[in-house]
Amino acid sequence: MTDKSSQSLFEEALRYIPGGVNSPVRAFKAVQSDPVFIARAAGSRIYDVEGREYIDYVCSWGPMILGHRHSEVTAAVQEAAEKGTSYGAPTALEVEMAKLIVDAFPSVELVRMVSSGTEAAMSAIRLARGYTGREKIIKFEGCYHGHADSLLVKAGSGVATLGIPGSPGIPHQLAALTITVPYNDTDTFIKAIDMHGPDLACVIIEPVAGNMGVILPRHGFLETIRDITRRYGILLIFDEVITGFRLTYGGFQNLVGINPDLTCLGKIIGGGLPVGAFGGKGEIMEKLAPSGPVYQAGTLSGNPMAMAAGITTLNILRRNEGNYDILNTKTSLLCNELQKLFDHTQIPVCINRTGSMFTVFFSGHEVYDFAGAAKSDTELYARYFRNMLANGVSLAPSQFEASFLSLAHTDEDIEKTLDACARSLKTL
C-alpha cells in the first residue's frame, strides 16, 4: 500500500493524467471535492490510501453486485491468470459466457463480446445502420451509452430535431444524424418518428435510466417504442449495461416482457474486469464480420480473465434465485428509511429506486425525465455527498448517477448508513 495521501497522489496524477483521473466522474468535480484514492476493497467496504473505511454504494458504477473481492471471483481470476492473461484466440470461456447470456436473454440469439459498454453501444449502432441501410438514430435526453461520437450528441434547437455535438471533436454532420427526445415523452417520440421514421436505423434507450440518476420508464412508454419501431422496421436497442443482471437474472426486458432487437451489456458480466457485449436476433448479428460485412473487432474481446470473473459472477447470481429478493428488500428498506430521515428534516427529496439501484434527487418534484432531474439542488447534493463521505459512506459523486447495493451489504451496513445520513443532515 502506498504511504501517500489522496491529496499527494492527486497532485502527482495531475502531472501525468488529464484531470488526474482516467474517467471524468472520478474527479469529484460535481461535488466540489478532490478525489479519494482507493487502495483496496472487500465486501461492502472500500478503503482509501490513508486507511479510511467507507460503506460503498458506487460498487464500481454497478459491476460489484456480489460485493468487492468475492472469494470465488478472485479465485477464478487467479486461476485464469495462471494459464496466461490473453491469447488473441478463441477460448472455451467465451463460449460459456455467450451461452449464459443467450440463456438469460430470450431476445438474444447471438452475442459478441467487447471490452466496454461504449464499444457495445457503438458497435450495436454500426450494426443497426449496416443492417437497415439507414443512417439516423434516436436517443433519449439524459441517457448515456458511452462516449462514441454518435452518442455524445444533445438535442438540437427544437425538440426531435437533428442533434448538435455534445462535445468538441464531434463532426456536425455526424451529430445531425442523432435525434434526441426527452425520456418518458411518448408524444415527442411519435413526432420524431413522423419526421424521421424512414431514415431511422435504430432507437437506443436505457430501459431504466441510470445516467441522469435513476429514472423509471412510465407505464406504456417502452411498449409504445417497441410497437412503433417494429412497424417502421427500425431496430430497437436496449442499453442494459447497467440493468443487465442488476434487477433480475437477465435484463429489465425480461421483467417487462419486451424483446428489443439488440441489447448492450457490460459491468456485471465482467465481474469488475473490462467487459462489454452486444447481442440480439441471429439474422441481425450474422451481419457482423466475419459472418457478414459489418466490421467490428477487439484485441482483448472475450479476454479469459474477464470471462472467468464474469462467468463466476453470473453463476453465483443464478444459483440462488433469492439473491434478487435479498437485494431488492434491503434497498427498499434503505430508501424508505432515508425518506423518513429527509421528511423529518423537511428537506424535499425524490428518491427513485428499482431493484438495488437508487438515486436521492434533491428535488421536491417527481423526477421522470432529465429536465426534472436538472432541477435538483446539486449544491445541496454535493454537501450531502461530502458529509456522508466524512461519515464513512461513499455515494455516487454526482446527483446524476445511480447508487447501488451489493449482496455483501449487511443489515448493519444499512443501519450505519442511516446513522451517517442522520448525522449528515444535521450539518447540511
Binding site for ligand KE4 (CB under 6 A): 23, 25, 61, 116-118, 121, 144-146, 206, 210-211, 239, 241-242, 266, 276, 401
Quick one: cell of 416?
450505519
The closest alpha carbon to 224, from 351, 138, 328, 159, belongs to: 138
Pick 261 or 391: Cβ nearer ligand KE4:
261
Task: List all residues 6 or more positions away from 190 whose beta carbon is below 8 Å from its beta carbon.
Answer: 224, 228
Pick 239 or 261: Cβ nearer ligand KE4:
239
Candidate list 144, 183, 381, 384, residue with the active-site label: 144
Other residues' Cβ atoms within 10 Å of the Cβ of residue 223: 14
- How far, in Å, CA of 414 to CA of 405, rounded? 10
Tell the smallest beta-carbon distance from residue 237 to ligand KE4 (Å).
11
Candidate list 183, 267, 330, 384, residue with the active-site label: 267
- How far, in Å, CA of 232 to CA of 200, rounded? 9
Q: Strands 403-404 and 357-361, how do they pair?
A: antiparallel
Tell the smallest beta-carbon distance from residue 274 to ligand KE4 (Å).
8
- How far, in Å, CA of 22 to CA of 36, rounded? 14
Pick 55 or 125: Cβ nearer ligand KE4:
125
Pick 23 or 71: Cβ nearer ligand KE4:
23
Q: Is 287 among the residues known to form the active site? A: no
Pick 111 or 420: Cβ nearer ligand KE4:
111
109 within 8 A of 336, measured Cβ to Cβ = no
Residue that is written with C-alpha cell 482516467 in the block: 22
Tell the smallest beta-carbon distance from residue 140 to ligand KE4 (Å).
11
Q: CA-CA distances (angstroms) from residue 26 to 36, 60, 373?
A: 9, 10, 20
41 within 8 A of 69, measured Cβ to Cβ = yes
Tell the smallest beta-carbon distance from residue 278 to ligand KE4 (Å).
11
Pick 54 or 342: Cβ nearer ligand KE4:
54
Tell the smallest beta-carbon distance from residue 118 to ligand KE4 (Å).
3
41 within 8 A of 386, measured Cβ to Cβ = no
Q: CA-CA distances (angstroms) from residue 128 to 91, 175, 415?
A: 27, 17, 47
Max CA pair span of the chain: 61
275 within 8 A of 115, measured Cβ to Cβ = yes
- How far, in Å, CA of 225 to CA of 139, rounded? 12
Nearest-CB residue to ligand KE4? 117
Q: Is 227 among the residues known to form the active site? A: no
Pick 152 or 414: Cβ nearer ligand KE4:
152
Tell the smallest beta-carbon distance from residue 163 to ligand KE4 (Å).
18
Other residues' Cβ atoms within 10 Å of the Cβ of residue 357: 24
Give the burial class of 322: count Cβ atoms within 10 A of its Cβ; 0-12 exposed, 13-18 middle, 19 or more buried.
exposed
Which residues on neighbouring strands pair with residue 394, listed in sequence order?
A: 56
Other residues' Cβ atoms within 10 Å of the Cβ of residue 51: 9
Candidate list 48, 239, 261, 369, residue with the active-site label: 239
Tell the smallest beta-carbon distance from residue 185 to ligand KE4 (Å).
19
265: left (phi over 0), alpha (psi -120 to 50) or beta: beta
Pick 197 or 213: Cβ nearer ligand KE4:
213
Residue that is written with C-alpha cell 435510466 in the block: 209
Tell the smallest beta-carbon distance from residue 62 to ligand KE4 (Å).
7
213 within 8 A of 361, measured Cβ to Cβ = yes
Which of the residues are catalytic?
144, 239, 267
